[in-house]
Structure 1
Amino acid sequence: MHDHLREWIALSELPGIGPAGLLRLMQPESGCSAAQTSLLQLSHNQLQSLNLPARTIHHIRGYQRGEWPDREYLQEIDRWLQQPCNHLVTFICDRYPPLLKQISDPPLLLYISGDPELLHLPQLAIVGSRSASRSGIALSRSFASDLTAAGITITSGLARGVDGAAHMAAVALSKPTVAVLGSGLMNVYPRQHQSLADDIIRLGGALVSEYPLTMAPLPHNFPRRNRIISGLSAGVLVVEAARRSGSLITARLALEQGREVFALPGALNNPQSHGCHDLIREGATLIETSAQIIEPLASLLGSYCYDEQREAPDSIKLTDAEAVLLEQIGYQLITLEQLIGVTGLNAPVLLPQLVAMELSGYIENTPDGYQRLI
């Protein structure tokens, strides 16, 4: 392994000091040399003068003795880098994404499986609930498909729910997408998305992580990785989010980073919509169509103009009874008991109609009631 990669790996894994603190120490005005190796070459007294934590100094001294990082560990990274699709990009490398470099605490290095050049293209993050409703999944796929067709690279976190649906939409179009992991790239999480991760690489996309290759998906990793999702992207679309969710962390980080934030409104009694409503009150742009996202990002796409195509209402084949029932369901969640009261029909008559409409994709049966999808 080249010495400069060993140095950056050591810097990125120093305990007791984060990327922002390290980058400050690497500036000329900090009293250290601007060279990335300077901190690792300082004497014990010099390190103590910087008021670094004892464990940080301990690891730096271990680096100077050649004891840390462990030789076997570095050999494992070397073997991984020998595969043609794998890359390790440092903060000072030309391949480092320029937009990510602008945030307050950019990662010192990125492990990338796939195409690192993709991180330089216009990206939009799509994030949302892991336990999204069927409507939320459908919206994530729809917006991701439209935006991918418009030339925007979709970036998300490979999680279940909204994230996975967004990646799958790009994969279905055989287009690249970027997945930022909260674990190491040799430990894809969730496991059920391993085949999706493989498809992303195969189609020219990229898996990205700042964490060591075999790092487990620890809970505190995910809020940290969210700054990378927003930092890589020109904007963030939140599809569904509860009030306490990682998606809101991503959106608020995006606002702090000066990125565009978009949110989809939802039913007032759907807890997964409350986070989006909060964001809209805080200044996020309320979105109903993909074109409303593409317009403010048009400068990134040159003169490209996207003509949004939607399924015409008359192409949806409803029976007369289904059309009437759909109007009575409306766009708010409604329980079976409420439907019985509104329609005057009893449950044995209503339930077969509701099941047929759910199978046709016209409505969704959620734990809180029925929701119209068209």
Structure 2
Amino acid sequence: MQANNLPLWLALKFVPRLAVHKKIALVEEFGIKPLFTTKQSRSILTSSHGLTAKQLAAFEAPDWQKINAVIEQSIQCSSELIPFEDDCYPQLLKQIYDPPLVLFIQGNKKLLNRPQLAIVGSRNASIEAREVSFAIAQELSQSHFVVTSGLALGVDAAAHKGTLSVSEATIAVVATGLDSIYPSRHKKLAQDILKKQGAIISEFLPGTQARAGHFPKRNRIISGLSLGVLVVEATIKSGSLITARCAIEHNREVFAIPSSINNAQAKGCHWLIKQGAKLVESFADIVEELNPVDISGLHLEVERQDQQKPQQKTNNIEQKKNPQKDLCKDALLASVGFEITPVDRVVSRSKLPIEEVLTRLTVLELSGLVSAVPGGYLRVK
């Protein structure tokens, strides 16, 4: 790509109320430069493409002051702009219906065309969901996949941290401009991602703050970048199901991790499995679908795991408010899952002395919140 084409791609981005796929079709028909520099092209646009007066004005007189300001703001927040025609632009992302015309990126842009697997799930994730996300992210990263997620609380953060724990690079796709981090508590995580040669990307201009409508747009990019999407834990109305739906639309693989039927946080995963998503109990289940992978000349050979990791399932630790049972607020309850949880695991999760753990488990059992069973405890409510 010629460097001076970048302002033109931003100008195209700012053409109002014209769908992305139509903008790309115009570039394919005329070329990016002629669209803005050739009167003949603009004449054809007027006569045969049904553009409005405002759209034609955006081609004839782009707001260069705004465009230059965006470029300068991007430089100030240490980000780079990658337009659609750039060699570094993700080839898989180009295949979706409405790819961003320009990507903003901080960090390692070489990751964008490496094979990626998205890990998404609940922000209010159970401790088991976070553990599963962390462990699978580790294994994917060590098997030459780039783990991509959304820098959100819960599952997303666990996936990024799992990758970083084995000193591998991860991609975070965000729903704000790159001059801010959302949620703000993840500023340290974002810094760690960049230190480990990872990348943070966005389609939103610098200065853009988090809004509800931005997250579905962010989710389609997560899916578009990836060979498949793993949903670790999600409610029926979870934004993670939007990502899964995008994956189906993008002809990507969809994976889901099952859990207890009592776990309301996992009903979205169970629904996905009913719809045909691949049920995942271990890393090997993902490799079975994606190995070997061959995209854009990149051949990835991942050896099957000789021994599968012990099955880990996601469980609900959301503390339901009940004014009649203050014990529901006991933090220890979050360390007990809806499947058998050994006492030593409760101790490890809660970081409390075993004597205190045993005492509080007994109180919770007498209150009907947990049940003692062979091998440990089960959460009942």
Q: Report the TM range for the smaller structure's normalisation.
A: 0.7 to 0.9
Of residues 296, 320, 339, the one that matches 1:331 is 339
Contact 1:150 1:306 in 2 (8 A): no
Deviation of 1:331 (Å): 2.4
Query: Which string of whole-angstrom CA distances, capped at 9 and with x for unpartnered residues, describes residues 87-124 of structure 1?
Result: 22111111111111111221112111111111111110
What's the offset of the Cα at 1:269? 2.8
**Residue of structure 2 in register with 1:321 after alignment:** none
> For the residues of structure 1 that align with 2:167 and 2:32, how far apart are their CA atoms?
39
Pairing 1:153–2:152 present? no
- Match for residue 305 of structure 2? 306
Aligned to 1:188: 181
Partner residue, 1:77 = 74
Q: Is the 8 A contact 1:268 1:332 kept in 2?
A: no
Q: Over residues 152-208 of structure 1, what are the superposed CA-to-partner deviations in whole Å (9 max), with x where a residue is unaligned?
A: 110001011111110011111111001011111112211111111111011011111
- CA–CA distance in 2 between the matches of 1:226 and 1:235? 13
Of residues 120, 125, 136, the one that matches 2:118 is 125
- Alpha carbons of structure 1 residues 288 and 110: separation in structure 2 relative to 1, 3 Å: same
- Give the alignment of 1:35-54 within 5 angstroms: 35-41=31-37, 46-49=44-47, 50-54=49-53
Give the 3-state SS of the residue equivalent to 2:152 in structure 1: coil
**CA–CA distance in structure 1, aligned partners of residues 107 and 6 of structure 2:** 19
**The residue matched to 1:126 in structure 2 has which SS?**
strand
Match of residue 25 from structure 1: 26
Q: Secondary structure at the match of 1:296?
A: helix
The superposition leaves residues 208-235 of structure 1 with CA deviations (integer Å, 9 ceiling, x where unpaired) of: 1111122111211110121111111111
How does the TM-score come out when normalised to structure 2?
0.77
CA RMSD of aligned residues (A): 3.2
Q: CA shift at 1:140, angstroms? A: 1.2
Q: Structure 1 stretch 292-301 or stretch 177-186: which is displaced more? A: 292-301
More moved, 206-215 vs 38-47: 38-47
Q: Secondary structure at the match of 1:37?
A: helix
Inter-partner Cα distance in structure 1 for 2:338 and 2:271: 23
Alpha-carbon distance, 1:308 to partner? 4.4
- Tell me how far apart the structure 1 counterparts of residues 266 and 154 of structure 2 sit (CA, whole Å): 14
Residue by residue, what CA displacement relative to the aligned partner does 1:288-310 show, whole Å, maximum 9, x if unpaired?
A: 11111012111123153334464
CA contact (8 A) 1:16 1:55 kept: no
Q: Quote how far apart the aligned CAs of 1:78 are.
A: 4.3
Structure 1 distance, partners of 2:264, 2:98, is 32
Kindly provide the amino acid, as one letter, of the partner of residue 40 in structure 1: F
**Contact map agreement 2:109 2:199 (CA 8 A) in 1:** yes
Query: Which residue in the other structure is 2:243 paired with?
Result: 250
From 277, 290, 295, the equivalent of 2:283 is 290
Q: 1:248 offset after TM fit, Å?
A: 0.6
**Counterpart contact for 1:264–1:288, Cα < 8 Å:** yes
Task: Say whether the 8 Å CA contact 1:131–1:161 is kept in structure 2.
Answer: yes
Q: Relative to 1, partners in 2 of residues 1:273 and 1:88: Cα closer, same or farther, differing over 3 Å? A: same
C-alpha separation in 1, matches of 2:122 and 2:338 = 24
Aligned-pair identity (%): 39
1:218 counterpart SS class = coil
- Tell me the residue number matched to 1:350: 362
Q: How does 1:33-112 map to 2 (within 5 A)?
A: 33=30, 35-41=31-37, 46-49=44-47, 50-63=49-62, 67-69=64-66, 71-80=68-77, 83=78, 86-112=79-105
Residue by residue over 1:12-58, the C-alpha shift from the partner in whole angstroms, topping out at 9 and shown as x without a partner, is 23321232221122232xxxx1x113333465765443223444334
Shift of 1:144: 1.2
Give structure 2 stretches of 5+ with no counterpart. Answer: 294-299, 313-335, 342-358
Give the distance between the partners of 2:74 and 2:361, measured in 1 at CA: 63
SS of the equivalent of 1:4 reads helix
Q: Is residue 112–residue 207 contact of structure 1 (8 Å, CA) maintained in 2?
A: yes
Task: Give the deviation of 1:329 after TM superposition.
Answer: 8.3
Change in CA separation of 1:98 and 1:312 when aligned onto 2, cut-off 3 Å: closer
| Aligned residue pair count | 326
CA distance in 1, matches of 2:377, 2:34: 61
**Residues 71 and 119 (structure 1), Cα distance of their counterparts in 2 relative to 1, 3 Å cut:** closer
* Alpha-carbon distance between aligned partners in 1 of 2:237 and 2:53, rounded to the nearest angstrom: 35
Contact 1:10 1:69 in 2 (8 A): no
